[in-house]
Structure 1
Amino acid sequence: MLREKNRLLLRFHRLIDLSITAGCFIAAYFIKKHILPIDYSSLSTGPNYYLVLVLIVMIWSTCFSWVGVW
């Protein structure tokens, strides 16, 4: 029973970590695009930022697992 709760807690922790990462990325994109003055708000239209977000989450989760944070 304790192992099941521990696994559930670890999965929840991973979900929270990745959600915070994605939320911060989206917030930074929104701030840079809509809130900053024109001089500082230039975003490149070339990359698909959703793809960048997916890559960031994948790399972040791989690094956390590799280092032993999770």
Structure 2
Amino acid sequence: MESYSSPRRNLGDGLVARWSTAADTEGVAALFAHVFRESPERPLNTVAMAWICLLYKSPTHRNRLRLRIPL
């Protein structure tokens, strides 16, 4: 299997770029729930949150998911 464990890149101001892992599921889901909502006043997008959780926990998709997120 192809490996995607590249080194972390320092982006400055405490931000780093790295490949996401299964341990990041909750954080990435929360990010999507905040970003993909109709407006800042609207509630969190629970559909986007559920979709991310499904992608991260599904063995079919786990090896194909290639999200880079700043932490």
TM-score where L is the length of structure 2: 0.31
Determine which structure has the larger strand proportion and give its number. Answer: 2
Structure whose CA Rg is larger = 1
TM-score where L is the length of structure 1: 0.31
